[in-house]
Amino acid sequence: MLKERQAMRITINGQPRETTRSTVAAILQEINLSPERVVVELNRSILPRDLFAETSLSEGDALEIVQFVGGG
C-alpha cells in the first residue's frame, strides 16, 4: 500500500527506470522475464537466482539482466 506510493529510480541494462516494485523478483515479473532464463548483476555483482525474491532494491541501484543468445 504505502510502498506502492514510494517510487524509486534505478537503472536496468543502462536505461533509467522508475519503479515501485521493491524486489528483483518483482521487477522481473513487471517486465515479464522468467527468472530461470536470465542472469542478474546487481551493482556489478552477480545475484544468485535463489536470492531474487528476498533481494530488495534501493534508489539508484543498477541491474544488469542478461541471457543466452546464439553466438560463437
Partner 1 sequence: MNELKIADRTFSSRLLVDTGKFSSNAAMVASMEGSGCEIVTVALRRVDIDNPKDSILSHIDRTKYLLLPNTSGARDAEEAVRLARLARAAGCEPWVKLEVTPDPYYLLPDPIETLKAAQILVKEGFVVLPYINADPVLAKHLQEAGTATVMPLGAPIGTNRGVRTRDQIAIIIEQATVPVIVDAGLGAPSHAAEAMEMGADAVLVNTALAVARDPGKMGEAFRKGVEAGREAYLAGLGEQREKAESSSPLTGFLRD
Q: Which residues bind partner 1 (CB under 8 A)?
A: 12-15, 17, 31-33, 37-39, 41, 46, 48-49, 64-72
| Nearest to partner 1 of 1, 15 (CB atom) | 15
| Nearest to partner 1 of 6, 45 (CB atom) | 45
Task: Phi first, then psi: give them for residue 25, nearest 5 degrees.
Answer: -55, -45
Angle at 25 between CA 19 and CA 29, to 5 degrees: 70
Smallest distance, Å, CB 1 to partner 1?
A: 27
Smallest distance, Å, CB 54 to partner 1?
A: 17
Smallest distance, Å, CB 70 to partner 1?
A: 4
Rounded to whole angstroms, the Cα distance separating 42 from 47 reads 6
CA atoms within 13 A on the CB side of 11: 11
